Structures are given as C-alpha cells and as structure tokens.
Amino acid sequence: MTRAILHISYIDMLIAQPIEHWIENFSVNSGSEPTEVVLPAMNHSGPIFPGIRLNMPDYVAEHPEYQLQSLIQEVRQHLPNAKIWCSINPTLALLGSLREVQVIDNHGGELERNACITNPVVHSIIDDIIGGIVAAGGDDVHGVVFQATDIYPQAASDRVTGEIQNTCFCNHCLAALKVEGYREGTAPFVKRHPERLALRIDNDGVANIVIDLHPTDGTASEWLYKNAVAQNFVSADEPLAEKLAGEYVKYLRARVEVTAKQIKRLGQKAQENGLQRAVIIGDVNLDLTTMVDLRTIDKHQAVDEVWTGSTNDVIVRDVNTPVIKFLFVRGTYIIDTFFERFYTAEHLIKRGEQADTVRGYMSRLAPKFIGANLLSGNNVMAVSYMDWLAGFIALPVFTFQDVNELIDKFLEIRGLGIGSSSTTSADGLSPEEVIKNLRDRMNRNP
C-alpha cells in the first residue's frame, strides 16, 4: 500500500478543528485514509509539551487537550495503526531576536526568529525538544521530521537597497565552510555578488533558480550560467558572468556539505532513541532557501527519508534514501510562511490593532496558501504510478471558510483584547511599519 501521510503543520489547525475533522478532510480529498500522521511538536512560541526548559505557549499550557500527549492519544482513537511523526521547525522562531543563535547575512545583520542550524546552542535545544517528544509520546512516536524549506532565507536586503541578503555567515557557518574548502567568507557577496546568477529582486519578492549541482551535460557552473542567461538573471554580454558562475558553484558545493551534515546532527538525539528521521525540502535539487540537495543528504545518510515538493525520477533512482512526494508547492515553505503570520498577529494585537486590521493581515496570504495545495484524488493516483516514490504527504485542503474559522479560533483561544478602530498602533505606527520593525521574514520574502 502506498504510504499516505497526513501533515498537520501547526497547533492552530487542531485548536480550530479536532483531529477527526482533518482525517476526514484528507481521506475525502485523497481517496485514502492516512497511514501516517504528522503532529506539530511546537509552534512559533514554544513546544506543545511540558518537561523541558523551554516554556509552552500560555494557551497550550492552559489547555491540556492541545498538548502533544493528548493529541497522540486522539490520533490513536481514530487511527490505531497509524505511524505518528512529530514535526520540528529548526529555525526556532521562539528564540526571537537572540543574536547569539540567529542566522547572519552577508552584511553582518541577523535575521530575527531564524536560528542557524549550524549553531551548537541550536543543537542542544533540538536535543531537548526531541527528548521531550520521547517523554511525551513514548513508543507511540515513530519519528521526527524537520521542516527545512526556509532555514536559510535569501531575500532582498533590508540594510542595503537593491542587494540580496545571503545567509548564513555566522561564525559557526564560516568555520564549517572552511572545513569544506571555502575560505572566502562574505567577500564575494558584498563585492562581486555571484548570487545574481540565481537570485533576482522582483516586484513581489525574490525570484530564484533551483540549481542542479550534478547536471548530466556539462559542469554545474556551465549549467548555472546557461540557465541564468536564459531566465534573464544576467546578460550574455556581461564579461564576468561565467567566472561568477564558477565562484558561486564553489560556494554552493561547500554549503550543501555543511547543511547536510548539520541536518544529520539535528537528528542525532532521535536516532539515539530509535526514532526515524525525515527532512522536508522544497526540491531534490538545490533550493537556495534550504541550501542542500537530495544527493548530498543521501551521501551523508543525514536522514532516513526525504519529503520534498518537487521530485525527479533520475535523481531519486540514483540514491538510497526513500523519497516521499509532498503534494504542496515547495513543501512547507508557503505553509510556514502562512502560519508565521499568526505569530506576528499576536504582536499586532498587543500593540492595540483593530480586529479588522489584524484579520486582514492574517488572511493576506490565504489565496496563495490555498492555491499551493496539490492534494486531489487525481494527483494521489498519479503518484501511485511513480514507482521511484515511497508515497505521498499532504496538508488537508483548505477553503476560504476554513481560513476564516482558523483565524476566528486563533483570536478566541488567546483571549487577547482588540484596541480601538484606529488603523495605527498606540505609538502611531501602521501595521506595515510594525511588521517591518519586527522583521517578519515572511513579509520580506512571501
């Protein structure tokens, strides 16, 4: 039987509707009952289980039915034989603006709520989270999955106008890159900007090229230069473009090695406890917000399986690591971006924003979030013919009514008061200015 994995990304889904609702949604839209379920082990504010040094969000601490142990038992009631995974977003938004752990860009600025997975402090925190999952779930937990589709944001810089914000160049990443033979540090990315061959600032964000570091025809740098010209990232008349392609590929080859090794380190505690390890990436080739590809993950045996939004039969057949098709554009990238707005909305409410303003902000990405979902009976059937895949994973199908109910429950459960009808905050800032000050990653690169 093809593996059919229900992905419940964030606790807000389970606050809005019980697990039974999402199981039925998945079954109706896929044509099959889930064989496995992914539960969130945490959200942007903290873990959803007690017993470790990190604090649970208040609304979870006050409602035991939203805690991991209760959710696991609820899954067992409806799907007694299903395997249960727990998801972790290793960027650890709950750490806020703690510079010591944040991703650092090529201009020396940190990205708030975006911890670097190369940082040993992050390793220790992830170890504690996995230990808490084991304590809460025991033998009912089959494995942990890391949502890694946006661990290294590459966006328009909010410090240098017209430039790309490359990540990460913290001390730990620089040291790890040197081990892999890359010693130039940030210099190329503040002078020659080789990233221009794959990243371009557009009106609605940053366009990117997913890079094949192992093309069947020619070298990776030749492939990159050819595609950069074809997609108008650089001009064929630019004299240094081919040289820059080689320079960028040199960096990327080192970077994917670093990222794969760090993903393996993230799962160390899980492996020690006999849990399976999976990672969610956007593409089997190199997606620049993940900074790793399937071949390198497989080379280092970093995880037991890979779940990805875009597959390629030639590449998948060439590796030993099982691959699951995520029926959502770019895996969890848009999902994480959508739900990150819920976290920022808490700050907007606390600053006295009116309900309509907060609701408008939270729902702004709804069309993109709804439209990126690829779950359908026909797509599930198509995956069943792809014998290079081990199965599929999907988020339940959302309608605009579902999103509205999600937002309604979000506001209700937190019991946060809404201020006056003014469209500015107490200190005169508009919601957009508040968001900018909070450096909302999703607002920088939606």
Domain span at 311: 3-151+258-444
CATH code of residue 125:
3.20.20
Q: Of the candidates 383, 299, 436, 415, which has an alpha carbon nearest to the alpha carbon of residue 1?
A: 383
| Residue 429 in this model has a pLDDT that exceeds 50 | no
Please report whether residue 296 resides in a domain.
Answer: yes
Averaged pLDDT for residues 219-223 = 97
Averaged pLDDT for residues 339-362 = 85
> Higher model confidence: residue 157 or residue 198?
198
pTM of the predicted protein model: 0.91
> In this prediction, what percent of the chain has a pLDDT beyond 90?
80
The two structure tokens encoding residue 268: 């160390």
pLDDT attached to residue 1: 55
Q: What is the C-alpha to C-alpha distance for residues 367 and 353, in angstroms, rounded to an integer? A: 23
pLDDT attached to residue 7: 98
Q: What is the C-alpha to C-alpha distance for residues 106 and 98, in angstroms, rounded to an integer? A: 18
Q: Of the candidates 220, 307, 208, which has an alpha carbon nearest to the alpha carbon of residue 256?
A: 220
pLDDT attached to residue 423: 39
Give the pLDDT band (50/70/90) at residue 377. very high
Please report whether residue 178 resides in a domain.
Answer: no
**Roughly what angle, to the nearest 10 degrees, separates helices 355-363 and 431-438?**
60
Strands 323-326 and 305-308: parallel
The two structure tokens encoding residue 37: 């379920």
DSSP state letter for 439:
T
pLDDT tens figures, 284-308 = 999 999 999 999 999 999 999 999 9
Please report whether residue 177 resides in a domain.
Answer: no
pLDDT attached to residue 170: 97
| Residue 225 in this model has a pLDDT that exceeds 60 | yes
Q: Which helix (H) or strand (E) holds 39?
A: strand 36-40
| Residue 433 in this model has a pLDDT that exceeds 90 | no
Averaged pLDDT for residues 313-341 = 96
Q: What is the C-alpha to C-alpha distance for residues 156 and 69, in angstroms, rounded to an integer? A: 41
Averaged pLDDT for residues 124-138 = 98
Give the pLDDT band (50/70/90) at residue 44. confident
* Helices and strands: H and E segment counts in the chain: 19, 16
- Cα dihedral value 412, 416, 418, 419, nearest 10: 170
- Strands (E) across 290-407 are located at 305-308, 323-326, 391-394
Please report whether residue 201 resides in a domain.
Answer: no
> Higher model confidence: residue 103 or residue 353?
103
Q: Picking from 157-161, 162-166, 279-283, 417-421, which range would have the lowest pLDDT averaged per residue?
A: 417-421
| Residue 446 in this model has a pLDDT that exceeds 90 | no
For residue 38, is it left (φ>0), alpha (ψ between -120 and 50) or beta? Answer: beta
Averaged pLDDT for residues 45-60 = 94
Q: Which helix (H) or strand (E) holds 217?
A: none
| Helix extents (H) in 231-332 | 241-266, 268-272, 294-299, 313-317
Q: Of the candidates 420, 419, 429, 435, which has an alpha carbon nearest to the alpha carbon of residue 344?
A: 435
The two structure tokens encoding residue 20: 């039974």
Please report whether residue 212 resides in a domain.
Answer: no
Please report whether residue 208 resides in a domain.
Answer: no
Q: Picking from 51-65, 245-259, 337-351, 395-409, which range would have the lowest pLDDT averaged per residue?
A: 337-351
| Residue 425 in this model has a pLDDT that exceeds 70 | no
Averaged pLDDT for residues 317-322 = 98
Averaged pLDDT for residues 322-350 = 92
Give the pLDDT band (50/70/90) at residue 242. very high
The two structure tokens encoding residue 59: 């609304």
Q: What is the C-alpha to C-alpha distance for residues 149 and 333, in angstroms, rounded to an integer? A: 5
pLDDT attached to residue 161: 73
- How many domains does the chain fold into? 1
| Residue 90 in this model has a pLDDT that exceeds 50 | yes
Please report whether residue 347 resides in a domain.
Answer: yes
Averaged pLDDT for residues 171-200 = 96
Q: 138 by DSSP, 3-state: which? A: helix
pLDDT attached to residue 416: 53
Averaged pLDDT for residues 320-339 = 96
Give the pLDDT band (50/70/90) at residue 18. very high
- Strands (E) across 83-191 are located at 83-88, 102-104, 110-115, 141-147, 155-156, 164-165
pLDDT attached to residue 29: 98
Longest distance between any two alpha carbons in the chain, whole Å: 65
Give the pLDDT band (50/70/90) at residue 414. low
Please report whether residue 320 resides in a domain.
Answer: yes
8 A C-beta contact, residue 410 and residue 10: no
> Higher model confidence: residue 425 or residue 413?
413
pLDDT attached to residue 431: 44
